[in-house]
Amino acid sequence: MNKINNNCIFCKIANPPIGGEAKSELVYEDDLVVAFNDINPKAPVHILIIPKKHIKNVDELKPEDEKLIGAMVYAAQKIARDKKIAENGYRLVFNVRSHGGQVVDHIHLHILGGQGLGSMVYLEHK
């Protein structure tokens, strides 16, 4: 059985038996991952793909998680096609820890698209 953190909002969304009030309309689901719309979208299409297994961030990945990361990227490809953003392009982002912009301590892949997204980083390096 996958490791689940009962206090993690994303674990609750990905695993309905423990979810209680933490519900979200899923746009994709398979055996390893689920996807849903971001509640604070930064683009016309902004979807989060999360594993059902609790992993805090990219730095906690283990070799046995390779299939899981592949499943997340493959789900992104399917979702991009379903949402009609694949042809013009889209962005995939993993934020890692606070300086990387990670807000929820459960690994998640952002899919952003539906318009030109511009530069990835807006801060000037000094």
Only one residue has tokens 């689901």, namely 29
| Domain contains 69 | yes
One of 54, 106, 108, 110 is an active-site residue; which one? Answer: 108
| Domain contains 66 | yes
Instruction: Give φ, ψ of 52 to 5 degrees.
Output: -70, -30
| Domain contains 104 | no
Cβ 75 vs Cβ 68: under 8 Å: no
| Domain contains 60 | yes
Helix (H, G, I), strand (E, B) or coil at 109: strand
Q: Bridge-partner residues for 103, per DSSP?
A: none
Catalytic residue list contains 108: yes
| Domain contains 107 | no
Q: What is the pLDDT of residue 19?
A: 58
| Domain contains 39 | yes
Higher pLDDT, 17 or 119: 119
Q: What is the pLDDT of residue 119?
A: 81
| H or E element, residue 17 | helix 16-19
- The residue range of the domain holding 48 is 9-89
Alpha carbons 3 and 125: distance in angstroms, whole number: 39
| Domain contains 118 | no
Cβ 54 vs Cβ 18: under 8 Å: no
| pLDDT tens per residue across span 13-52 | 998 876 555 678 899 999 999 999 999 999 999 999 999 9
Tokens linked to 122: 């807006």
Domain count, the chain: 1
Q: What is the pLDDT of residue 126?
A: 58
| pLDDT tens per residue across span 71-92 | 999 999 999 999 999 999 999 9
Q: What is the pLDDT of residue 1?
A: 37
In this structure, what CATH number is given to the domain that contains residue 52? 3.30.428.10
Mean confidence (pLDDT) of the chain: 90
Whole-structure pTM over 0.85, yes or no?
A: yes
| Domain contains 49 | yes
